[in-house]
């Protein structure tokens, strides 16, 4: 009887511990930069900050527009885009079927069609699907792949680009990116200020707009 009671107490303690962890870091949230202050090694802290940034970058809201091929994906499950569309030379769709045919300046929730004035795919050089956080980090920093941007320009892009901001206001029943745009930018700036370090991981781990 005592053994059964002890097992019950231990089980309850484990359940409460798990619940406490879930409350401390529930799905869809981002940790604040200050929560990484205990990592005294600046390089390691910078890597950890980008890992948190990558929760947004590897979210379907971003990944769907950073496909590894010429066809975007859609929904939280990252299904191939329906109807069939291709990126085209500029990333804004193929001749005769530009993205703007369906995607207008704002979300049209009645038809479940997302929108933004600059709706387009990221360049193929910035394909993130199937890439690890470390690989995405290196892509973002590489001027040969990011359109010639230095770190300051990367911060401006993340802060001001309307399509980046769209990830937190995706409309219809789409799940927004974790946290808020303000929380995301605080992490991006903290990552840059700490040296913009990238993990050396070469894993092709994938993540499921």
Query: Residue 67 has which token pair?
Result: 């496909």
Helices (H) and strands (E) in the chain, counts: 7, 4
Residue-level pLDDT at 26:
54
Q: Per the structure, how many domains does the chain have?
A: 1
Confidence of residue 87 (pLDDT cuts 50, 70, 90): very high
C-alpha separations of 92 from 120, 166, 173 in Å: 5, 17, 24
Asked if residue 164 is part of any domain, the answer here is: yes
Asked if residue 136 is part of any domain, the answer here is: yes
Confidence of residue 200 (pLDDT cuts 50, 70, 90): confident
Average pLDDT over residues 101-128: 97
The answer, yes or no, to whether residue 91 has pLDDT greater than 70, is yes
**90-98 long-range contacts, Cβ below 8 Å, gap at least 24?**
90/120, 91/120, 91/121, 91/122, 91/123, 92/119, 92/120, 92/121, 93/120
Asked if residue 41 is part of any domain, the answer here is: yes
If you ran DSSP here, which 8-state letter would residue 177 be given?
P
Residue-level pLDDT at 32:
98
Q: What is the pLDDT of residues 4-60, one digit of tens each?
A: 443 333 333 333 333 333 334 455 999 999 999 999 999 999 999 999 999 999 999
Residue-level pLDDT at 18:
38
Confidence of residue 63 (pLDDT cuts 50, 70, 90): very high
Residue-level pLDDT at 27:
58
Asked if residue 89 is part of any domain, the answer here is: no
> Which among 207, 68, 78 has a CA at the least distance from the CA of 133?
207
**Vertex 48, ends 46 and 51: CA angle to 5°?**
115
C-alpha separations of 192 from 26, 53, 162, 197 in Å: 26, 11, 21, 8
Average pLDDT over residues 174-184: 98
The answer, yes or no, to whether residue 209 has pLDDT greater than 70, is no
The answer, yes or no, to whether residue 192 has pLDDT greater than 90, is yes
Asked if residue 138 is part of any domain, the answer here is: yes
Task: Report d(CA 209, CA 188) in Å as an integer.
Answer: 21
Domain hosting 69: range is 33-78+124-193
Asked if residue 184 is part of any domain, the answer here is: yes
Strand-pairing partners, residue 80, are 73
Asked if residue 118 is part of any domain, the answer here is: no
Dihedral of CA atoms 162, 51, 34, 168 in degrees, nearest 10, equals 30
8 Å CB contact between 50 and 195: no
Top-confidence residue, 172 or 11: 172
Mean of per-residue pLDDT scores for the chain: 87
The answer, yes or no, to whether residue 138 has pLDDT greater than 60, is yes
Asked if residue 87 is part of any domain, the answer here is: no
> Which among 84, 87, 167, 80 has a CA at the least distance from the CA of 123?
87
């Amino acid at each position: 009887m005592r053994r059964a009671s002890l097992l019950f107490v231990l089980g309850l303690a484990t359940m409460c511990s798990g619940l406490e962890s879930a409350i401390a870091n529930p799905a869809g949230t981002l940790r604040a930069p200050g929560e990484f202050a205990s990592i005294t090694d600046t390089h390691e802290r910078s890597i950890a900050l980008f890992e948190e940034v990558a929760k947004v970058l590897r979210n379907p809201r971003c990944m769907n527009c950073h496909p590894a091929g010429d066809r975007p994906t859609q929904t939280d499950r990252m299904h191939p885009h329906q109807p069939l569309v291709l990126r085209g030379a500029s990333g804004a769709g193929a001749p005769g079927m530009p993205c703007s045919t369906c995607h207008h300046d704002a979300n049209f929730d009645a038809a479940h069609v997302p929108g933004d004035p600059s709706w387009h795919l990221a360049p193929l050089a910035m394909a993130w699907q199937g890439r690890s956080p470390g690989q995405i980090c290196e892509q973002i920093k590489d001027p040969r792949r990011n359109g010639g941007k230095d770190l300051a320009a990367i911060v401006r892009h993340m802060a001001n680009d309307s399509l980046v901001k769209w990830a937190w206001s995706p409309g219809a029943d789409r799940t927004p990116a974790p946290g808020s745009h303000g929380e995301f930018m605080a992490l991006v700036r903290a990552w840059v200020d700490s040296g913009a370090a990238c993990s050396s991981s070469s894993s092709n781990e994938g993540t499921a707009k």
